[in-house]
Chains A and B, each alone.
Chain A
Amino acid sequence: MVDAAPILRMVSLTKQFGRLVAVNDVTLDIQEGEFFTIVGPSGSGKTTLLRMLGGLEKPTAGDIYLRDERVNQVPANRRPTCMVFQSLALFNHKTVGQNIEFSLKMRGESRRARRERGLSLMNVVQLPEDYYDKSVTKCSGGERQRVALARALASDPDILFFDEPLSAIDYRLRKLLEVELKDLHRTTGKTFVYITHSLEEAMVMSDRIGIMQEGRLIQIGSPNEIYLRPRNKFVSEFMGEVNTLAVQAGADGGIDCPAFERRFTSPARPDGFANGYLVIRPESMRFLNDPSEAENHIEGSLFNEYALGSRVQYHVSAGGSMFVVEKLREQAYRGSLNDDVLIGWDAKDSVLVTD
């Protein structure tokens, strides 16, 4: 897949609004048929990046290539791409069918051909046929999502852009639609570029993920790579709750933790590492009966516990900060609050990152 020419290529793409640099020197190739997700907090420039790709915003500098053709100046209505907006931007004065068929009507296709395609798309996104003449204002949130999706698919675009379309949807429906979207990606074989602020959502759906921070793309990789080898503290914390320990390089190549005044066994130190953080995921932390059971250990006291359904989370206060430990429900720690506990981890379960 990597050998094929990319369907979408960004070269040093930059967008400035006055003095604000929204997108800063982004270079990225997206392969044909890929599900690529850009993840970043709000204000990281991901929406601006997507709007430039869709032709709704003109780059300040850099280039966008679509199948080796430079498209910087091509307006949105002439690009073979389509966007699903965060607000969905459905035409509230039109019916479900009219919304879906909008792009076909713009192309001047006949009423009959439009209706046929519209109905088949409604089938693809699992909307009942009798919704065809229903006003979109009378549709539920999930149904509106499906209308927006069908409308974007109708023009048969090469690339579909998604601007956080699921952010306003309740958790259960969002989970359902995430899976449906991934299935749709598989059945249509189209290139999906998705943006979200939730790395969890990105993990579920994507082939590759790009993490954005303050306009820059700071890490690109498969969900596994991002999860297991975050490049810096920002990426590691984006994943959710993690334990971070401020550490510094010891004289002899080891890692020292000033807060606990002790040396931790850690993965190999990168060249030039001076200060940084040791990151340990909550599920890699475990309760110990004896320090010898793990390569590293910390003494603390159990502050609180939270049931998360299939898992239980514990907060352990140690050395003036709070550590998070997560266990499967079946392996729950049996004890009471304020117990003195010993928690520990192995070096292979920790990651060394810089700021």
Chain B
Amino acid sequence: MVDRAEAPAPLIRQPGIGALLLSWLRSPGVLNATPVLIFFLIGFVGPLVIVLAFSFTPERTFDLGAGFTTENYEHIFTESYYISFIWSFALAGLTVLCNLMIGYPIAYGLSKLFGRWAAPVMLVLVIPLFVSENVRLFGWYLFLIKGGGILAGGLKTAFGIDTGTLLYEPGTILMGMIYVYLPFTLFPIVLGLSMVPRDQVEASRDLGASRFQIFREVELPIAMPGILIGALLTFVLAVGAISEAKLLGGQNTPVIAQDIQHEFTYAQNWPLGSAISVLAIVVTGFLVVLVMRRLDLDRLLGRR
């Protein structure tokens, strides 16, 4: 072992923090990224900063300099706006849960079982994405609408059964959300499951694992990054969902996005709308960070 105390002092002086920062700013990578960086700052970060600033201005002002207050945030909790938070997060959570349970078996089939049928099945699942979400939801609306709807009307003409309607129920909103967001859960899971090596599954079988044990010990842990990404994507999209509640829920069930839209347009109360937006972003962001910390994106994208 070399005695460290006798090691000679380094001849080259270590550069200071300022010099390091300067050299970093001058590096080709940073210079090349500058135009995009500026574009993002103006187009992406800018509006968010404005929303954040508005959320601290007094009620019904359109002037950022009108003073500082936290009353908008207090209003969310004192005036029942928090209910839409509960609905949105509950619906989003349930959507994720249902989509995971529906999506995993389909994803398993797509990546392991269907073989040459995987592509056609995938196509069938992707094609609806080419049609606008609102149009598809309106299709459901027509199907379920009371009296003359395809379901109720059909049952009446064919069997003479008089039914009510499934519309305007939270369960129908959930169904709409599951339907709309399934692909966003499904495809990351397919990606995740495709990372499960066949030989590891065989090895675990050879070592005495049952079908369920293979799922729990090998497939699930290896596919977990994909599953988490799918869940995250679905959750974030579902928290901001508005059309499902509007079309299928008939505005009986309040959701966050609807509140925000209402405050910015009909109620003309930008500060409150901003406060709801900011709170939604913070809560969602917190959950995202929580999940992302468990995630190794590099591994998922095959860079390692």
Contact = CB atoms under 8 A, between A and B. Distances in A.
Whether chains A and B associate is yes
Interface of B: 197, 199-200, 202-210, 213, 217-218, 221-222
Nearest to A91: B200
B199 to A, nearest CB: 4
Q: Interface centre among A77, A154, A155, by most B CB within 10 Å?
A: A77
Interface stretch (A102-110, A178-186, A214-222, A309-317): A102-110
15 contacts: A56-B206, A77-B209, A78-B208, A81-B206, A82-B207, A85-B203, A89-B199, A89-B202, A91-B204, A103-B208, A106-B208, A106-B210, A106-B217, A152-B207, A155-B208
Contacts of A82: 206-207
Contacts of A106: 204, 207-210, 213, 217
Contacts of A103: 207-208
Given A91-B200, A106-B213, A77 B218 contact: no
A19 to B, nearest CB: 18
Contacts of A89: 197, 199-200, 202-203
A83 interface: yes
B205 A76 contact: yes
Interface in A71-111: 75-78, 81-83, 85, 87, 89-93, 102-103, 105-107
A93 B221 contact: yes
Contact of B205 (A75, A91, A93, A107): A75
A75 B201 CA distance: 13
Interface in A113-156: 151-152, 154-155
Given A87-B199, A89-B200, A106-B213, A55 B206 contact: yes
Q: Per DSSP, are chain B's interface residues mostly helix, strand or loop, or mixed?
A: helix
B208 A56 contact: no
Nearest to B203: A89
A54 interface: yes
Interface band, chain A: 20 to 34
A77 B206 contact: yes
Contacts of A85: 199, 202-203
B206 A54 contact: yes
Nearest to A86: B199
Given A89-B197, A102-B217, A83 B203 contact: yes
A77 B204 CA distance: 8
Contacts, number: 61
Interface string A302-344: 0000000000000000000000000000000000000000000
Interface of A: 54-56, 75-78, 81-83, 85, 87, 89-93, 102-103, 105-107, 151-152, 154-155
Contacts of B206: 54-56, 76-77, 81-83
Contacts of B205: 56, 75-77
Q: Interface centre among A56, A75, A76, A105, by most B CB within 10 Å?
A: A76
B98 to A, nearest CB: 27
A92 B208 CA distance: 18
B202 to A, nearest CB: 5
Contacts of A93: 221-222
A89 B217 CA distance: 14
Contacts of B199: 85, 87, 89
A154 B197 CA distance: 22
Contacts of A91: 200, 203-204, 217-218
Nearest to A137: B304
A233 B207 CA distance: 40
A105 B210 CA distance: 12
Q: Interface centre among B203, B204, B205, B213, by most A CB within 10 Å?
A: B203
The 5 closest A-B pairs by CB, nearest first: A89-B203, A89-B199, A103-B207, A106-B208, A76-B206
Given A83-B203, A90-B203, A154-B207, 6 more contacts: A76-B205, A77-B207, A78-B208, A89-B199, A91-B203, A107-B208
Contact of B204 (A54, A92, A102): A102
A56 B210 contact: no
Contacts of A151: 207
A81 B205 CA distance: 11
Contacts of A56: 202, 205-206
A136 to B, nearest CB: 11
